[in-house]
Amino acid sequence: MLTVGAIIVICQVISILWLWHESREQVTILVQSAINHPDRHRHYEKEVHEAVAS
């Protein structure tokens, strides 16, 4: 039981770290895109949807 619990906890920690990394990456992309190309509103919406989906 302890082994299964440890495996589940490790997998959850990996998932949380991966989602945190992806969120930071998407926020960086959105900010850079907003600064460099203010006319690309559809691209922003796509990135926001991807962030919410993840």
Pairwise pLDDT comparison (51 vs 10), residue with the higher score: 10
Q: Residue 40 in contact with residue 33, Cβ under 8 Å?
A: yes
For 22-48, write each residue's pLDDT tens digit.
888 888 887 887 777 766 667 777 777
Give the length of the chain: 54
For 3-22, write each residue's pLDDT tens digit.
999 999 999 999 999 888 88
Residue 41: per-residue pLDDT: 67
For residue 35, how far is the Cα from the chain centroid? 20
CB burial readout 40-52, b (16+ within 10 A) else e: eeeeeeebeeebe
Q: Could you tell me the pTM of the whole model? A: 0.55
